[in-house]
Structure 1
Amino acid sequence: MDSERAHPHVDMSDQDRNEAIDRLYDVALDPERYETLLDKWESAVRPLRAQADFSAPRLLDDPMIAGHFHRAGEFLDRIDVGRDGDGIQGILAPFGKVSAFVLDDCLKVRAANSAATERLSLGVNSKLTDLAVNYEDIKAIGGTVRSLLASTGQDTAVLRVRSLTRGHFVVLRLQRCQTAGGVPLVLAASSEVGWPEGFNDILRRAFSLTGAETGVVKSLVECCSVSDIAVQRGRSIDTVRAQIKSILSKTETHSQVELVRLALSVMDMANLTLDTQVEPRLVSKGNGSLESIPFQSITTPDGRRLDYLILGAPKGIPILFLPLDYGLVRWPASAEAEAAKRGWRVIVPVRAGYGQSDMIAKAENFDDAMVEDVLQILETEKVERCPIISMGSDSFYGMQLALRRPDMFTALIACAGVLPMTRREQFERMEKWHRFILAGAKYTPHLLPFMVKAGFLLARKIGKRGFVHAVYGSSPADVETFENPEVFESMVTGSEVALSTTHSAHESFSRMLLGRQNGDWSADVDALKGRLPVIFMNGTDDPQVPRESLQEFEIDHDWIDYRVYEDAGQLIFFRHWPDVLKIVESFLK
């Protein structure tokens, strides 16, 4: 009983679970559908969060949900997000041997892949009536397409229609989509497929199916009836029905139509690949006003490569900069020039798993290794005393460093600083993007890796400007700050260590969120009282720490020097860096 109280198990409703799983596979196929999962997940999870004791927040320890997240995460690894997703052809890009075509509101084919042309005789400008299925089925498809385009809340549908040419049933999965220009369309993926090479092995591994069961799935995808399958396989109808029952149980689907839909989604994903080779980035290159700066590299005691940057004056007075988990390792050009003018050497660690810095072994504690890595960089730079500037949740690491080496650090200036979240309301107040990830780390840590990985791939696919506008869209101050040309250049350039065309730091990001900062580290904060000057510079437009949460920080830790800006959000460093430098200067004397 004690264990149950410590980790309460709370179930989703069947409807919420099934809808969340649907969104999950949509995201695994197309990261641009991330926000649909985010919205569905929040509506399902928020009532459940309220049922749990905040001190024992483990929710949704649901093996069905966890299993689907795990599988979707594996499929997500296959996505080639480097493809050009713009235009109608980009919509069809994920589909190889699966017959797929795109319909507009006039029920005309706007694009069709080669499989659709070969097996369905459809091409550009074909009409829906050219599809060789029963007349009544044409009417049903047309009505469903119009319903999806009307945005009535449903964005996918599965129909079973009969082919006039081959006489068998065909499954069509319809999904609302749009071009980069916002034109609404409907993507139709058909069960008229060429079975991909090696797909049997993928199904067996993903769902623990037997060889016979994968053969049954193949026949169901081809719309064979139970009696047809029995004849094909030389088995009784009862045997085939028993196999289908076993398959439904293993795949956690509830009908043959749902099973076929899942198989088609997995097939789509199996045709995708992701190049995971890390590009050699030896220089941080600006795109305009920023100067190019070479990465410095050292080797850790356990043999890992560890990179860092020096901004400003290479031999100047040292300052440590902790650049947020987005890896914002560059400053606006004017700020870097000012640091050089003042003779300041700004040391910026590139944490493990970011850029060319090697990842920490899974068995190692990420937080401890992070602190030791930073201290090794400072030792290499022969730093004896320096202040720390941190961004966002890196205030946690700033405090850990001060606890580890109280003699080394003169002050912590935390821009958009974060303190331990000790109240459920502090999560509820966050804007939805931050809540989805941070509350996920708190309440469903076993599902976090997929959430983060999908978010990183979304950022790569839609571009960093689109991603920043999505994440910070509810913070006008942050959007305005980001659109400053110097800030834009510094954020896009700096974040290359977190996300580039061939590299994603999602694993490190997840491990940081699942570390000690995910719990109550108030004792660490209190231990610094009277030992280290701590200045928090926070904006009231911060989507992670809004005004009410900041006021609670001020009550919980009233010894910290809080400086509040009404015109800033989480990107306050980039908006008010001159004020930051003034504060830093007072701790360099």
Structure 2
Amino acid sequence: MSHETGLSPAGEPLKDDDLKALVMSIIQGKQDYEQLVAFLEPATREQQGLNSDTALTLALLMKEVEQQAELNDQLRALVNDQGAPAVVLSAEGRLLASNPAADSLFGSLPGNDMAKLGIRHDEFDAFQQRIVQHDGPSLLRTYPDTQQQTPLMFIGVYQPLHQIFVLRAIECQWSAAMDHALKEIFLLTDAEREILACLAQGMSSEQISRQRSSSVGTVRQQIKSLLAKLGASSQVQAAALASAIASQPQSAAAKVSPPMALASQPLFREELIRDTRRIGWRRYGKPGGKPVLVLHGAYFGAGELESHRVRASREGLDVVLVERPGYGRTQPPGKKEDVLRTQLEDIAAVLEVLGWSRVWLESHDFGFVPAVALAARWPQRAAGLLAISPPAPYDSEAGFDHIPRYQRMFIWSARHAFWMIRLLLRLGQMKARKYGPEHWMEMVFDEAPHELPFFESPQGRTVSMSAYAFNLQQHSRGHELDMQVVVATDWTPLLSQLRLPVQVITGARNTTFPIEQVQRLTALHAPIQLQVIEDAGLTLSLTHSDACMDALLKLMEGAEPT
């Protein structure tokens, strides 16, 4: 195979149109991400950039990839939506996606014509015209049961970017508390409340009578009683009231989430707002104990391992973990804001809420750089740092052959074409979702299978599923920002500013941050103490959590933070 970038895996020149088709087929789920990795791999091994034509082709694809990925995310969210029947139609009326309620209602399959959904072509055309003319949502009637003339009303919007129509059935459902209020305040009977919901869906007396198997006269009498109790002058007023009640949120968002069910030592999830940005943070261990601030890594969630939480509580540690921008719930900074500075100021805001002036630091893989930056900027706040599986400055001359290829691709992109990071992440998300929450680590450690046995255990599967959402819910933005801070930026000058004890613990089987590279940290900052665990890899914080805790406690021996 030729190592000139711009050739296909078979060694033949790959034309721009072919490359575009390859990328789009991957984002559409028709081909595997592996095809692009194979195409780019020669460049990552030879430490060279892409040829200009290939770089331009991929750069121009970014907008299309983002749009297609956004559409995929919307369709996937709708498929998993457990609410009222909802569907997505193409401009031609083809079904692109539907949620479980719609599947049950219509028995529909992707690719079906709208006629299978009981949508008449003339009414769909009129629906489209109304949206175009009035530039907003409109209503569409469907007839799920062709044997009856009772329609189901949908409200729909058009998304011009993707040329799709998103429709959701109008259902009138309210919480038990709202239902009790209607009963208590207006003295509505069960039957009257059910009829009120039917009115809100636009049903006539005849349609309600058929649904309730009652006579039309009985229904009309119940509607009359209902209107009198509500003080409404018409069915329209009553329906408007019911719709307003049903549209209210079922519950307000809590600032503090409940602890994990059935956990002997719970993980609390909390948040705050700083300059309009949401900052998520987690807490476990013994409240009021020795303060420990954890700077989390890229892949393993945060505080998800229950055995670690139990040990922290037993040792009297009050552990707080601030979710970094792009991970979990913490929103990324603005385009002109410095990422590392934003991370530190987010942490400072949480420490202020807690009233903590001095803490012990623990970092996991990519969390090492913000931990070092925090200790360098505010030396009075950090009593000591335990760095678990930290990254080392990448030596371009040494090459990246030792690093698993997916991770090597990101490192290469950060050095030679940072704009490709987002492209790779979007395509990687497609592959990760094919694996699913329980198995996506098989993709992460494609060339490091020794890291996988932990994730086959019950605890490991729980961590994998939690980490999946923690990483992907913001489209892997956190990993992109990590690449910017840790790989694309020279952070080594921060090491010379450290004035605190630093203990590094790493695994001899860590292929992402090999021991030969990690040892360079001791040359850059002599006081760093290095401990190597022979049978551990990058997943050291999970597989050897007791050893990590022992190292932290040993570091703590001496002066306590105040």
- Cα separation, 1, equivalents of 2:294 and 2:442: 25
SS at match of 2:33: helix
Superposed displacement of residue 75, structure 1: 1.4
Tell me whether 1:477 sits opposite 2:476 in the alignment.
no
Superposed displacement of residue 457, structure 1: 4.2
Superposed displacement of residue 461, structure 1: 4.2
- Cα separation, 2, equivalents of 1:564 and 1:272: 57
Letter paired with 1:533: P
Contact persistence 2:438–2:464 (CA under 8 A): no
- Cα separation, 2, equivalents of 1:20 and 1:268: 23
Letter paired with 1:521: W
Superposed displacement of residue 288, structure 1: 6.1
SS at match of 1:33: coil
- Cα separation, 2, equivalents of 1:370 and 1:434: 23
Structure 2 equivalent of residue 29 of structure 1: 28
Q: Of 240, 257, 272, which aligns to 1:283?
A: 257
Q: Of 384, 388, 393, which aligns to 2:357?
A: 384
Q: Summarize the alignment of residues 120-199 of structure 1 with structure 2, pairs less than 5 Å apart.
A: none
Cα 1:466–1:18 shift into 2, 3 Å = farther
Structure 2 equivalent of residue 524 of structure 1: 494
Cα 1:287–1:504 shift into 2, 3 Å = farther
Q: Which deviates further from its counterpart, 287-296 or 321-330?
A: 287-296
Letter paired with 1:66: A
SS at match of 1:384: coil
Cα 1:116–1:437 shift into 2, 3 Å = farther
SS at match of 1:488: helix
Q: Which deviates further from its counterpart, 561-570 or 396-405?
A: 561-570
Superposed displacement of residue 424, structure 1: 4.3
Structure 1 equivalent of residue 512 of structure 2: 544
SS at match of 2:452: helix
Tell me whether 1:506 sits opposite 2:440 in the alignment.
no
Contact persistence 1:59–1:443 (CA under 8 A): no
- Cα separation, 2, equivalents of 1:518 and 1:274: 44
- Cα separation, 2, equivalents of 1:272 and 1:428: 47
Q: Summarize the alignment of residues 365-384 of structure 1 with structure 2, pairs less than 5 Å apart.
A: 365-384=338-357
Cα 1:65–1:585 shift into 2, 3 Å = same
Cα 1:72–1:354 shift into 2, 3 Å = same
Structure 1: gaps (5+ residues): 1-9, 86-92, 101-110, 119-193, 202-266
Q: Of 366, 376, 387, which aligns to 1:393?
A: 366
- Cα separation, 2, equivalents of 1:509 and 1:287: 29
Contact persistence 1:283–1:292 (CA under 8 A): no
Cα 1:274–1:38 shift into 2, 3 Å = farther
- Cα separation, 2, equivalents of 1:563 and 1:284: 37
Structure 2 equivalent of residue 221 of structure 1: none
Q: Of 455, 465, 473, which aligns to 2:428?
A: 455
Superposed displacement of residue 293, structure 1: 3.5
Cα 1:554–1:271 shift into 2, 3 Å = farther
Letter paired with 2:35: T
Q: Of 272, 292, 296, which aligns to 1:298?
A: 272
- Cα separation, 2, equivalents of 1:454 and 1:61: 17
Structure 2 equivalent of residue 66 of structure 1: 59
Cα 1:485–1:99 shift into 2, 3 Å = same
Cα 1:509–1:59 shift into 2, 3 Å = farther
Over residues 433-485 of structure 1, what are the superposed CA-to-partner deviations in whole Å (9 max), with x where a residue is unaligned?
A: 11122222221111211211332343234312321012113323321122232
Over residues 296-355 of structure 1, what are the superposed CA-to-partner deviations in whole Å (9 max), with x where a residue is unaligned?
A: 22232x232222111111222110111113361124211101111122111010223433
- Cα separation, 2, equivalents of 1:291 and 1:274: 43
- Cα separation, 2, equivalents of 1:19 and 1:274: 35
- Cα separation, 2, equivalents of 1:333 and 1:510: 28
Over residues 210-244 of structure 1, what are the superposed CA-to-partner deviations in whole Å (9 max), with x where a residue is unaligned?
A: xxxxxxxxxxxxxxxxxxxxxxxxxxxxxxxxxxx
Structure 2: gaps (5+ residues): 8-12, 81-87, 96-108, 117-124, 133-159, 169-251
SS at match of 2:511: coil
- Cα separation, 1, equivalents of 2:384 and 2:453: 29
Over residues 67-108 of structure 1, what are the superposed CA-to-partner deviations in whole Å (9 max), with x where a residue is unaligned?
A: 0133222211110234779xxxxxxx99996999xxxxxxxx
Cα 1:563–1:344 shift into 2, 3 Å = same
- Cα separation, 2, equivalents of 1:339 and 1:470: 31
- Cα separation, 2, equivalents of 1:330 and 1:66: 38
Contact persistence 1:318–1:345 (CA under 8 A): yes
SS at match of 1:297: strand
Superposed displacement of residue 545, structure 1: 1.5
- Cα separation, 1, equivalents of 2:489 and 2:547: 31
Q: Of 492, 515, 525, which aligns to 2:485?
A: 515
TM-score of the two chains, using structure 2 as the length reference: 0.63
Structure 1 equivalent of residue 38 of structure 2: 39
Cα 1:340–1:566 shift into 2, 3 Å = same
RMSD (Å) for aligned C-alpha atoms: 4.0
Q: Summarize the alignment of residues 151-300 of structure 1 with structure 2, pairs less than 5 Å apart.
A: 283=257, 286=260, 289=263, 292-300=266-274
Aligned residues: 406
SS at match of 2:419: helix
Tell me whether 1:497 sits opposite 2:470 in the alignment.
yes
Structure 2 equivalent of residue 3 of structure 1: none
Tell me whether 1:50 sits opposite 2:61 in the alignment.
no
SS at match of 1:466: coil
Cα 1:494–1:348 shift into 2, 3 Å = farther
Cα 1:402–1:274 shift into 2, 3 Å = farther
Structure 2 equivalent of residue 171 of structure 1: none
Letter paired with 1:81: R
- Cα separation, 1, equivalents of 2:161 and 2:330: 33
Over residues 482-513 of structure 1, what are the superposed CA-to-partner deviations in whole Å (9 max), with x where a residue is unaligned?
A: 223223323433553333xxx33423331332
Contact persistence 1:11–1:60 (CA under 8 A): no
- Cα separation, 1, equivalents of 2:378 and 2:89: 51
Letter paired with 2:555: F
Identity %: 18
Superposed displacement of residue 17, structure 1: 4.9
- Cα separation, 2, equivalents of 1:305 and 1:316: 26
Contact persistence 1:392–1:415 (CA under 8 A): yes
Tell me whether 1:570 sits opposite 2:538 in the alignment.
yes
- Cα separation, 2, equivalents of 1:514 and 1:12: 25
Contact persistence 1:32–1:458 (CA under 8 A): no
Q: Which deviates further from its counterpart, 312-321 or 380-389?
A: 380-389
Structure 2 equivalent of residue 310 of structure 1: 283
Over residues 151-178 of structure 1, what are the superposed CA-to-partner deviations in whole Å (9 max), with x where a residue is unaligned?
A: xxxxxxxxxxxxxxxxxxxxxxxxxxxx
Q: Which has the larger radius of gyration?
A: 2
Cα 1:469–1:327 shift into 2, 3 Å = closer
SS at match of 2:320: strand
Tell me whether 1:583 sits opposite 2:551 in the alignment.
yes
Superposed displacement of residue 527, structure 1: 2.8
Structure 2 equivalent of residue 12 of structure 1: 6
Contact persistence 1:82–1:461 (CA under 8 A): no
Superposed displacement of residue 561, structure 1: 1.7
Contact persistence 2:495–2:524 (CA under 8 A): no
Contact persistence 1:295–1:309 (CA under 8 A): yes
- Cα separation, 1, equivalents of 2:302 and 2:165: 32
